[in-house]
Amino acid sequence: MMQDADVQALVTARHSDPFSVLGLHEDAEGRLWLRSLLPGAQQVVVIDAATGKSIVTLSLRHPDGLFEARIPRRRKRFDYELDVTWQDGQSGRYADAYSFGPQLDLADLHALRAGSHLRPYTVLGAHPMEQRGVAGVRFAVWAPNAKRVSVVGAFNVWDGRRHPMRLRHDAGVWEIFVPHVMVGDLYKFELVGSDGTVLPLKADPYARASQMRPDTASRVAVLPPARSLPEGRGAANERHAPMSIYEVHLGSWRHGKGGRFASWDELAGSLPGYVASLGFTHVELLPISEHPFDGSWGYQTLGLYAPSARFGESDGLERFVQACHTRGIGVLLDWVPAHFPHDTFGLAQFDGTALYEYADPREGVHRDWDTLIYNFGRSEVRNFLLGNALYWMERYGVDGLRVDAVASMLYRDYSRKAGEWIPNLHGGRENLEAISLLRHVNEVLGLHASGSITLAEESTAFPGVSAPTSSGGLGFHYKWNMGWMNDTLAYMHEDSVHRRWHHNKMSFGMVYAFSENFVLPLSHDEVVHGKGSLLHKMPGDEWQRFANLRAYYGFMWGHPGKKLLFMGQEFAQTSEWNHDAELPWHLLGDARHAGMQRLIRDLNHLYCAHSALHQLDCEPQGFEWLVADDADQSVFAWMRRDAQSRVMVVVCNFTPVVRTGYRLGVPDGFHAWREVLNTDSQHYGGANLGNAAAPLPVQNTPVHGRGQSVQLNLPPLATLFLVPV
């Protein structure tokens, strides 16, 4: 017979080992007993699953729904079902969760404990499956310090007494197979902490789908099939290929009918075609994993494995990625391993202890964002993050991850004053655990997600961000060039009459341009929080603002480095970005805005079509200054070349003065040069000054330290692209 202490622990949902007493068990004499905890049941009859015959009616051991009986005339275990009549008159026949044995293999458990399981998402979380001919869902969750964990949902009226889970002590993982639960069912975990406190219901860290905010339950979903990058995508992601990235916040690019979020399929039908028509090579999505607060733009995620319900079922993301690839567009996802919000239904104090986060607030709290920092030194947390990176690559076939807030991961004193941080074991400021994790992620992706890439948003001078790990680097493929962005935008903000005093802000980036594989980012961060749009960062009257922005885009597309532009800036959005509203597409009815969009299209096509502009983006051999010191006239000129010595010259005039007959020193070996793009063209809203009429003959007139030169007209506030003829 079951002891009274066990009975009390079961009915109060405090039993730490329910499988030891529920289901079929032998007593000391070898007789079989069956026990079931079904609060709200009136009668429970045991049915032989093979024959459908009734075997015994269970007796009520405790009024809170604990039933038991000795099985007559049977000595061997057998498959059974429970025919339950509920107190409300409803009835049903169910397989018993406590008739199923341990769920997870020892090899998986050992790998989870060691942090060496590359794909923990195949083990943890909710997995629909069939066992012994019974359909249901296997649930597993890591909570090593909990005294009891139950899975709850509508299938058990959210009652934590109904399905307490089995603890696999080797790994601190709780598991259970719950029959009859189906894809789409909602669930959470109810945990009792080590101090006996029942914690707020927790969403599944490994959930592959979740409810739409403000609801927070996890949703049972199938594991997406494994996918690899389509043929040719790997080559399109290499640093010698053109890379021009359109950064998108899906919730505000375009709305669906009635102002709702557009669905994945609606986005698949419009966004890839739009991006391709403008000549971009990649689209980068602000975080699409589930997040509770729209205003975080996805950067405070609590469902790292779940595509946001804002855009519909998660399989829609698969179709969206395929639609992008069909149009030749690579897909990059913003990925946030640096921090997570402290919502009570999420990872914070998950089992009543600092499980996913550092316990000490000097390590575990981001003061800037009021978020928690992952414990990068804990093997299971590292496994959670590494598995997630591989999950997006392998299960959705995306091209890469842009890793957010890398600088905050690298330094223990990030945005902290003296005394507010803990040095590493060597007394330094570097977060050695985070550095190790980033290297490991990049190494694993290199081995198991061939052709994919990672890009780091890293704002300091940390060395070797995009260097291989074998040479001591972090192993990213690309790094955002935040210094270039800050310097050049500061220059462009100056009135043109003052730019001569800030000339070096535009040229300084070339001092370190090849120290990393850089992306030049004009991202969402530059058009929010009172910073205004790119157009309104420009000085002067409306004509000058448009001309300045066109010239700046020309400067950027001619400059070494891959390109990134946030949505809306391709047509010179006038207001700063508002995540609650869709882009102001009506502006394209204005010729100036439509002209800006045409310029971006033509810059992208020029950049992709001419290997001189992209093949050696990350090599010093691909760049040579022609004019770097003409501060008085605010003129810059340089030459780009590819590995086959094909060349293109870029010339910028950042004053509103027309410079007629400007003599430019050019390299030897060419007879004439031709203008192939002029940001002052009337097609883009400019004054149409320039050199489009005829080729520019080379003359033997020395200037700028060269023996040959050409004379050309520099339009006001404009960038020219020239090729030899």
Question: Active-site residue numbers?
Answer: 404, 457
Pair 627, 636: CB distance under 8 Å: yes
Helix (H) / strand (E) element for 24: namely strand 23-26
C-alpha distance from residue 557 to each of 276, 389, 574, 582, 602 (Å): 17, 30, 21, 27, 10
Q: What is the spatial distance between Cα 204 and Cα 123, in angstroms, rounded to a whole number? A: 13
Q: Structure tokens of 314?
A: 């998660």
672's CB contacts (< 8 A; 6+ apart) are: 695, 696, 697, 698, 710, 724, 725
Asked whether the beta carbons of 376 and 434 are under 8 A apart, the reply is yes
Q: Give alpha helix (H) positions in 12-94.
A: none
Q: Which letter does DSSP use for residue 694 in this model?
A: S
Q: Exposed, middle or buried by CB within 10 Å (0-12, 13-18, 19+), for 694?
A: exposed
Query: Quick check: helix, strand or coil at residue 566?
Result: strand
Let me know the angle formed at the C-alpha of 614 by 521 and 479, rounded to the nearest 5 degrees: 35
- Cα(348)–Cα(359) distance, integer angstroms: 10
How far is the C-alpha of 117 from the C-alpha of 380, rounded, in Å?
9
**DSSP 8-state secondary structure symbol assigned to residue 589:** G
Per DSSP bridges, beta strands 303-307 and 289-290 are antiparallel
Instruction: Using alpha carbons, list the distances in angstroms from residue 319 to 10, 263, 268, 316, 591.
Output: 46, 11, 7, 5, 35
Neighbouring CB atoms inside 10 A of 215's CB total 11
Taking the C-alpha atoms of residue 63 and residue 42, their distance in angstroms, rounded to an integer, is 10
What is the full DSSP assignment across 453-487? EEEE---S--TTTTS-GGGTS---SEEE-HHHHHH
Q: Which residue has the tokens 């003409």?
A: 630
Q: Which residue has the tokens 């458990």?
A: 109
The Cα–Cα gap between 2 and 219 comes to: 36
Residue position matching structure tokens 């977060």 = 431
Using alpha carbons, select from 561, 678, 684 the residue that is nearest to residue 613.
Answer: 561
Q: Are 475 and 585 in contact (CB under 8 A)?
A: no
What DSSP designation does 435 have? H
- Cβ contacts of 344 within 8 Å, gap of 6 or more: 200
